[in-house]
Amino acid sequence: MKAVRFHETGGPEVLRYEDVDLPVPAAGEVRVQVAGSAFNPADGGMRAGFLSIPVTLPHVPGYDVSGTIDALGDGVDGLSVGGNVVGFIPMTADGSAAQYVVAPADALVKAPVRIPLADAAGLPSVGLTAWQALFEAGELKAGQRVLINGAGGPVGGYAVQLAKRAGAYVIATASPRSSEIVKAAGADEIVDHTATTVLDAVTEPVDVLLNLAPISPDGFTALAARVRDGGVVVSTTPTVTTPGDEERNVRAATIFVHPDEEVLSDLVTLVDSGDLHVEIARRVPLSELPELHRQAEAGEIHGKVVVVPPAV
């Protein structure tokens, strides 16, 4: 089968589009014929060796997958050959940037039917990140005010939709390039961070601050002052400490996405009911994944990109 692998860490040039052996599912695993593999920034970090996620070289990147089951390992129940699935698969194992991938059965759920199967790969890890940030860490409730800093990215798009659906008042920061998407997602207020500072634009306290954007420690601390006493600051940016405030009982939480079969199934249900929109910016052939990594390093990628392998 065709796959993209890196045999050593380094720049995008270490990625090779090559022939590899067809993987065989072990007990509790299934083999998926890949329809789509979503690109995530962490893929670049792992390839470059910046992220401390242990992988065995050579490694196939890609931890979001959608596709069709074509083989079952021993002891797999609830899934069947021919079934379409979507999942957030282990980052340490060979991933979905290939024609086939082996994954734990419990990492996969039935794929949405409302959207193209390849596009469904754009849902798992970013959808889970948004849900876990808002409700698991932020404990967001109906009637509360949430400020989503960096709402124009893939996680932000889901976060705005989920927060609005939960009955929250959503304030979102976005550039002019992404403001229409953020508005369509349901934001009540949009702050153009290229024209004004968030601190100047948001003067009333919020219950939850969700940071999804690069930010300086001082800037983050200043922004956290907008959180009401007893509120929560949540961040997906582990390189900057998430600021809390013990004196005001403001809690801080940093999110590292984790698999959750039940929540992912719920997100799929929302997609199929039309209550959650999957926004895909581009679809590119698997052979162009090295170029996609180069574009990511140059800051040229905006929105969620899905990589599509060649037909088998």
Same-domain status, 180 and 283? no
Tell me the whole-structure pTM to 2 decimals. 0.96
Residue 120 DSSP symbol? G
Is 29 within the bounds of a domain? yes
Q: pLDDT for 68-115, tens place per residue?
A: 999 999 999 999 999 999 999 999 999 999 999 999 999 999 999 999
pLDDT value, residue 200 = 87
Same-domain status, 108 and 160? no
User: What's the domain range around 44?
Assistant: 2-123+279-308
Burial class (CB in 10 A: 0-12, 13-18, 19+), 106: middle
Is 57 within the bounds of a domain? yes
pLDDT value, residue 212 = 96
Same-domain status, 203 and 96? no
Is 259 within the bounds of a domain? no
In the chain, what are the helix, strand and coil shares in percent, each to the nearest 5? 30, 30, 40
Is 182 within the bounds of a domain? yes
Closest residue by Cα to residue 149 from 184, 112, 190, 109? 190
Average pLDDT of the residues in 244-261: 96
Cα-based angle 167, 172, 174 (whole degrees, multiple of 5): 150
Closest residue by Cα to residue 84 from 61, 66, 72? 66
- Residue ending a domain, among 237, 254, 271, is 254
Is 78 within the bounds of a domain? yes
Is 265 within the bounds of a domain? no
Residue 294 token pair: 């180069």
